[in-house]
Amino acid sequence: MRRLAYLAYLAGLAANVCAAGPRPIKVRLNGLDLAIDETTGSLVELAFPAVGTILKAEPQNASMLDVAYPIKAFPPLRLASRFSKAEITKDSNGLTIVWDSLGPSRTNYALPSGKIKARVGIRAADDGRSVIMTCRIENRSGAPIRQVRFPDFAGLKPVAGIEQTKLRFAAGVVDPFNESLYPSAEGFYSYQAIGWKDYPAGGYGRANALRWLDYGSLRGGLSVFQKKWETEDRPGVRTDRHEADPMSLRLVWEHRPMVAPGQTWESGEFWLTPHRGGWAKGIEVFRNYVRQVCPPREIPRRVREGLGFETIMMTEELETEPTKAYYRFSGIPRVAQDALAHGINVVDVWEYSGFDPPLPIPLRPQLGTPDEFFEAVRKTHAMGVDVVPHLTVQPVWTAYRARYEARHFPANVGDDWTFHSELIPLFRPGYTKVGMCLLVDAKNTVWQQDVLAALKDWIDRGVVSFSWDTFDSVSKGGQKPALINNAGKGPKHGASQGS
């Protein structure tokens, strides 16, 4: 009887072990605890002592990598880690996950020939506080990949409660667990707002303005940024919650490459920095990286030690009547005198230029003559006040399309950039087309020569500083944009400052 009881105990123990399934592979890297599902290679847990459990997901819901692989029979088809078999190698500095063939979300369709192979590396950073994640995808199949989601964090938890857990972007903050699960949009397309929230990459006016975000609270959290300076393939960010598990959040970085058969895609480095305290501690690593690839430039003494600067709008943008102008060129010295009396030695001048071709830089005739303008600049400089004209030279009118090979702005940017107090509404009413413009590629050498010639002419006439608007340029890490490099090679006529 005793032997039978022992055998029954062993049988029950074996049954419990089988029911429990594979154990996750755990690793601690620079204080961040990660657990990887042994079978699929998906991320099932993230934790940091100062924060607690940041992410926890059941293997069937966990993720790491997810790609769109549309086929004719089923365009929504996806390939993802959760459908795949992974090979995981662990060493002293981290681990490597390899999927020899990413598995599909549906198995009842014939797939194109070949396979999609993927590799994710997770290692401790040399800074002693961060973890680096990288991804490489090889398309060895007969069909293209149209979307990549990496890193894909499924199962984020409200680490500081529903109200205090924040998803913070460079230019906006979201309360991911305090938002309604139901769409607020009205009309037929309201279903688009269900589940997924979209935070597209961008600059002007968008929350996701940098390749950095922070998830957590003032008690602590996790900062994530992509180490890929000034490349055009900036990923968007999306989040997803479901009514079945509203206390879990999926956070993905969405890349939209076209990875054709035979091509390879690489993510670059994603740095994960767990931190105690608020987001300002988490952003330190990203800030150090920015200082490396874009070193701070020396700030002129008058800017560094000044109280600020005064901006004046000479007239309204679409105004043509001289009597409606707020200031004339001859009145700039009086503005400078008043500014100086209040401790301000920089006057930034707007709307001195009209809707004429931007190069050479035009002056509005209703405000005075060019001689009056440059005489006003000389007088203000004699007082110790700098006049800084505000330049917009990269957007050009359609007549310049051929000369500069100019292209259209992104949607909703260059369609109607006009304002006046008598318009209804006063900004971008939709029925004025005066401000229609195109964007010049800053690498265009003809445009660079025209800009430098125009600036040199003004510098020779006493204007030594400029402020900039709409300057869009891509350069290699640690290098200045081409126009600024070229400007630095010419004769030193004065200082050209961008702002």
Q: Do domains 23-181+190-293 and 301-489 have the same CATH topology?
A: no
Helices 332-341 and 370-383, packing angle to 10 deg = 20
By the 8 A CB rule, do 30 and 285 touch? Answer: no
* pLDDT in the model for residue 303: 76
Query: What's the rounded Cα separation, in Å, for the pair 226 and 213?
Result: 10
How far apart CA 116 and CA 224 sit, in angstroms, is 27
User: CA dist 406 to 61, 348, 362, 401, 433, Å?
Assistant: 47, 28, 20, 5, 18
Residue pointed to by tokens 């500069």: 404
What amino acid is encoded at 250 in this protein?
A: R
Give the residue extent of every domain in the chain.
23-181+190-293, 301-489
**Overall pTM > 0.85:** no
CATH number of 301-489: 3.20.20.80
- Per-residue pLDDT of 114-145, as tens digits, reads 999 999 999 999 999 999 999 999 999 999 99
Extract the tokens encoding 15: 């049954």
As a whole number of angstroms, the distance between CA 44 and CA 151 comes to 13
Cis peptide before 261 (omega within 30 of 0): no
State how far the Cα of 362 lies from the Cα of 354, in Å rounded to an integer: 7
Who contacts 329 (Cβ-Cβ below 8 Å, separation ≥6)? Answer: 352, 363, 367, 368, 369, 372, 373, 376
Pairing type for strands 32-36 and 25-29 reads antiparallel
pLDDT at 397: 72
Q: Using CA atoms, how far apart are residues 260 and 143, in angstroms rounded to an integer?
A: 7
Q: Which string of DSSP letters, residue by residue, matches 404-469?
A: HT-EEPSTTTSS---B-TTSSSSB--SS--TT--EE--TT-HHHHHHHHHHHHHHHHTT----EES
Cα 362 from Cα 458, distance rounded (Å):
11
Q: Check residue 231 and give its pLDDT.
A: 86
pLDDT digits (tens, 9 = 90+) for 480-495: 666 665 554 433 333 3
Measure the CA–CA gap between 30 and 129, rounded to whole angstroms. Answer: 5
Q: Collapsing DSSP states into helix, strand and coil, what is residue 28?
A: strand
What pLDDT, on the 0 to 100 scale, is given for residue 498? 38
Q: Which residues of 9-21 are buried (b: 16+ CB within 10 A; e: fewer)?
A: eeeeeeeeeeeee
- List the chain pLDDT tens, one digit each, 499 residues: 445 444 444 445 444 444 456 789 999 999 999 999 999 999 999 999 999 999 999 999 999 999 999 999 999 999 999 999 999 999 989 999 999 999 999 999 999 999 999 999 999 999 999 999 999 999 999 999 999 999 999 999 999 999 999 999 999 999 999 987 776 656 666 666 567 899 999 877 789 999 999 999 999 999 999 999 888 899 999 999 988 899 999 999 999 999 999 999 999 999 999 999 999 999 999 999 999 998 888 887 777 888 888 999 999 988 999 999 999 999 999 999 999 999 999 999 999 987 656 788 889 999 999 999 999 999 999 999 999 999 888 877 777 778 888 776 654 444 567 889 999 998 888 787 776 677 788 888 898 899 899 999 999 999 988 888 766 665 555 556 666 655 544 333 333 333 3
Q: Is the omega angle on the peptide bond into residue 151 within 30 degrees of 0, that is, cis?
A: yes
What is the assigned CATH class of domain 23-181+190-293? mainly beta
> Identity (one letter) of the amino acid at 93?
N
Taking the C-alpha atoms of residue 22 and residue 65, their distance in angstroms, rounded to an integer, is 20
The β-bridge partners of 167 are: 174, 215
